[in-house]
Amino acid sequence: MSEELISVGALASQFGKRKQTVFKVLRRLRIEPRKLRSSDRRGQLVSYVTAEESRRVAAELRSTDLASTSGGENAAPPGRFKGGFTVTVPERLRSLRCSAPFTKVVRTWPCKMLWERTAIDCVTEGCKQLHTEVFRTQSIEPVLQRCEQFFNLMPKVNEPDR
């Protein structure tokens, strides 16, 4: 074989990342890894990339690390936030821990469920929508200011006893 191949696992180890992280980068870069049986792994299929593809992945991983304000996989992506309605914040936070283990509550406001869509549309103006209620912004401060303005205009809602 004339091409030098590097396993995704080796690439992940080299950068101190999980294989899942490297696979996400591969998808983002539209790189399709080759799957070959490995004698080192008792004939299991192992994903490989070429040396050139591994350099592209390495560059992307380095740029992602530099862009991260807290440096590492154990942090929420900078500028990403979720807006939405819940009856019990601790229970909702617990349900989000599987998909977003480093989620933290920044602020809550008492709200009627009927206002949810309007509130989200109002406070996320200028933000990039990533999913149904997940957005990215350059700074969370303007979003929090819009939340304050929105909820100051709305009738006061009694918070339930916790």
**Whether pLDDT at 98 is above 80:** no
CA torsion 90-94-96-97 (nearest 10°) is 130
Residue ranges per domain, the chain? 5-67, 80-153
Share of the chain above pLDDT 90, in %: 41
Kindly indicate the confidence band of residue 34, based on its pLDDT and cuts at 50, 70 and 90. very high
pLDDT of residue 75: 56
Q: Are strands 134-136 and 80-82 parallel, antiparallel or unpaired?
A: antiparallel
Q: Which CATH class is domain 5-67?
A: mainly alpha
For 128-159, write each residue's pLDDT tens digit: 998 888 899 999 999 999 999 999 999 998 76
- On whether the pTM is more than 0.75, the answer is no
Higher per-residue confidence, 90 vs 41: 90
Give me the sheet containing 128-129, strands edge to edge: 80-82, 134-136, 128-129
Q: Please state, in angstroms and rounded to a whole number, the distance separating the CA atoms of residues 102 and 76.
A: 6
CB atoms within 10 A of CB 52: 11
